[in-house]
Structure 1
Amino acid sequence: MARGELIFISGGVRSGKSAYAESVARASGKGRKVYLASGQAYDEEMKERIERHRKDRQQDGWLTIEQAYSMESVLEKLTPDDLVLWDCVTTWLANELYEGWETGGTCANTVGCMEQKWSKLQETILEMMNTVHSLTIVSNEVLDDFVRDELYQSWLGRIHIWLVQQADRAFEMENGLSFRRK
């Protein structure tokens, strides 16, 4: 089976990266449009936002798979013609790194924990690329994010470097404009 195209898009908060990623994913083929959403509803406001976004995407022909953790569990739901959009790496990273913050037992505080999660995510991304027609991944810029934590920023930078190395095309968004980096 031929490897699917990997497209990586990063940009600042409110840069237009998610809307641009939808248009890029849509234009990458004629298959089923699958949106992998990493958000979690921690309160009523977030629950309402997630539901509103899901309905908006559904009206635009997207199948949404809510997946905050264990990205590998979506593999069985994907088909070779799928145009997959994962929005976004930064939410996944915050979920994984800081899960359990209420009790102080986070992955960030456990030696080797994030390395295992990152290794599993790399395997999953490579498997997705061998399963689907295209995989578009969105992420916030390393220093332009809601989490101002050195460990978080270090991991995000590491993930970005790997994604750009693997990507067939990589874009940076700024003020609604896309700049191709690869």
Structure 2
Amino acid sequence: MNRIILVTGGARSGKSTFAERLLQKLAPQGGAYVATAEAHDDEMRERIRLHQAEREASGYAWLTANCPLQLPEWVKEADESAVLIDCLTLWLSNELLHAEQELGEGPEMEQRLYARIDDMLDALTAAQGTIVMVTNEVGSGVVPAYKLGRIFRDAAGRLNQRIAARADEVYLVTAGIPIEIKSRMVQL
């Protein structure tokens, strides 16, 4: 049996901290931390370093896996009973940029991106144990000025909707305050 939990919110909302604490509570014996970020510049390297230092200082038994592109494959193969994925939108942006490099900006690229979203949902369906996933809420801001940004925003929104539909619990974190929202969902 698996338990899927989605944690969403805006940038710097506290969602990663909440997700880490939630997994620590649900699986006090330890868990896997699946990092999807890639360090392309000094600022991102420093962010990653700070996240790593915070996890290390927590005293929790984290097993860290770096998975910027092959996330669905990692989830399918994993035998850990408690997993935190941080974050889905970084993974999706990695997939988008990889598809753009291979296929150019066009319908084939978008088809590849949505196929990878399907792969992720299939992996979650087959997974066992508890999986907590962090994602960014990207659809509440301005419409991106560039086509690639709009493709990403739309794909992230669809990814979040599909995973939230599959999830057992969904939390929105804003200003450091987590609110469980799935149980309050209106059924029409």
Distance 1:159 1:76 in 2: 18
Aligned to 2:12: 14
| Displacement of 1:75 | 3.8
- The change in CA–CA distance for 1:143 and 1:111 in structure 2 (over 3 A counts) is closer
| Displacement of 1:78 | 3.0
Distance 1:93 1:169 in 2: 21
1:159-178 matches, within 5 Å, as: 159-178=159-178
1:74 lines up with 2:105 in the alignment = no
| Displacement of 1:134 | 0.7
1:43 lines up with 2:52 in the alignment = no
1:77-156 matches, within 5 Å, as: 78-79=78-79, 82-99=81-98, 105=104, 110=109, 112-128=111-127, 131=128, 133-143=129-139, 148=144, 149-156=149-156
| Displacement of 1:34 | 0.8
Distance 1:49 1:168 in 2: 30
CA RMSD of aligned residues (A): 2.6
Contact map agreement 1:107 1:114 (CA 8 A) in 2: no
Q: Secondary structure at the match of 2:104?
A: coil
For residues 96-132 of structure 1, give each alpha carbon's deviation from its aligned partner in whole angstroms, at most 9, with x where no partner exists.
112265687358763521122111111112222xx2x
Deviating runs (4+, > 6 A) in structure 1? Answer: none
TM-score normalized by the length of structure 1? 0.83
- 1:11 maps to a residue whose letter is G
Contact map agreement 1:12 1:141 (CA 8 A) in 2: yes
Whose helix proportion is higher, 1 or 2? Answer: 2
Distance 1:72 1:159 in 2: 13
Contact map agreement 2:99 2:112 (CA 8 A) in 1: no
- 2:90 maps to a residue whose letter is T
Q: What is the identity percentage for the equivalent residue pairs of Structure 1 and Structure 2? A: 26
- Report the number of matched residues: 176
Distance 1:99 1:146 in 2: 25
- The change in CA–CA distance for 1:75 and 1:152 in structure 2 (over 3 A counts) is closer
| Displacement of 1:84 | 0.7
- 1:88 maps to a residue whose letter is C
- The change in CA–CA distance for 1:105 and 1:136 in structure 2 (over 3 A counts) is same
Q: Which runs of 5+ in 1 are unaligned?
A: none
- The change in CA–CA distance for 1:4 and 1:102 in structure 2 (over 3 A counts) is closer
